[in-house]
């Protein structure tokens, strides 16, 4: 049983470490998608910079979050969970990309699961 828990923990750690790093780097290249399309018009109007610049900042945050998952899995997983939840709330409030918002909320549950598995004193 313990080996299964460790396997799941390892899979989640690599998933929630690598995916934010890859998505973060792609904010610089826009190979996977045009990330600016996910920025709601309302948010675009209030940020004091171009959408592309904002998305690069988002990319840096994602890269740091992914690295944090590798270095401190419990803390990093909670950061990724929070980040995914914020993204989902922004998408839902914009009324666009609801499918992506739902996916991000499901991914946030997985990140929370990693945090719980990484807890040195599980409840």
pLDDT tens readout for residues 41-93: 888 888 899 988 999 999 999 999 999 999 999 999 999 999 999 999 999 99
> How far is 86 from 54, CA to CA, in rounded Å?
15
> How far is 50 from 37, CA to CA, in rounded Å?
13
- Is the pTM above the cut of 0.85? yes
The angle, 0 to 180 degrees and rounded to 10, between the axes of the packed helices 2-29 and 51-71 is: 160
Contact 115, 69 (CB under 8 A): no
């Amino acid at each position: 049983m313990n080996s299964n828990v460790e396997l799941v923990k390892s899979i989640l750690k690599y998933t929630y470490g690598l995916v934010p790093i890859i998505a973060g780097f792609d904010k610089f290249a826009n190979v996977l998608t045009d990330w600016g399309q996910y920025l709601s018009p309302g948010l675009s109007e209030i940020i004091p910079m171009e959408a592309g610049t904002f998305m690069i900042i988002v990319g840096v945050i994602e890269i740091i979050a992914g690295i944090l998952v590798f270095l401190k899995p419990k803390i990093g997983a909670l950061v990724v969970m929070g980040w995914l939840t914020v993204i989902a709330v922004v998408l839902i409030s914009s009324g666009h990309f609801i499918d992506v918002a739902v996916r991000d909320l499901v991914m946030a549950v997985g990140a929370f699961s990693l945090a719980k598995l990484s807890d040195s004193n599980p409840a």
